[in-house]
Amino acid sequence: MTTQRRSYETGHKPKCLVIVDDTAEWDRAVYYASRWAMRVGGGVVMLRVIETEDQNQQWLGVADIMRAEAEENANAALDRAAGRANGIAAITPERVIREGDATEQILDVIDQDVDIAMLVLAANPGPEGPGPIIATMAKTVGSFPIPVIIVPGDLSDADIDGLS
C-alpha cells in the first residue's frame, strides 16, 4: 500500500476505522473510537465485512437470498454501532459494508480513504483468544500501513474515558 495519509492536512480530518462484527467486544472499539473522535475533532468509519464463501452456480438463487440477508444483518449491526457512537460522542460515523476476506477489505478501505489514521479493534478477554480479526492481523501488523489500537475487551467505559 502506497497511499499517503492526509489526515492532518488542511481540508482533511483524521478518522479511525472500527470493525463492527459479531463479537461481544465490538462495543469497546466503538466506544474508544467515538471518544477519540470527539476529543480530536475527528471522525469514525465503521466497517462491516460480509464474508463470502465460494457458491455453487446451481445454488445461485439461494446465494442471492443469503447475500440479501447478510446485507440486512450488516445494516442492522451498523445501525446499532452508529447509535452507540452518536450516544457517546454526538457523531454520525461513516458506514461501509464490504464482501470478502476481512483483512483484504480492511486494507482496501484504508487505501481508499486517505484520512483514516488508525484502526481500532477490541480484543476478547476470554481464554479462547483475542478474536478472529486480531489473530489474523497479528501476522501482518508489522507491515500494516497505519497504527493499530487494540482495546482490551474487559475495560469499562470509565477506563476507556481515561485513555481516550
Where b means 16+ CB within 10 Å and e means fewer, 64-103 reads: eeeeeebeeebeebbeebbebbeebbebebbbbbbeeebe
Euclidean distance between CA atoms 26 and 156, whole angstroms: 13
With CA atoms as reference, report the closest residue to 149 among 4, 55, 15: 15
| 110 phi/psi in degrees, rounded to 5 | -60, -45
pLDDT in tens, 43-80: 999 999 998 765 555 566 777 888 889 999 999 999 99
Task: Output the pLDDT for position 77.
Answer: 96
Does position 159 have pLDDT exceeding 60, yes or no? yes
pTM over 0.85: yes
Task: Output the pLDDT for position 129.
Answer: 85
With CA atoms as reference, report the closest residue to 74 among 51, 55, 93: 51
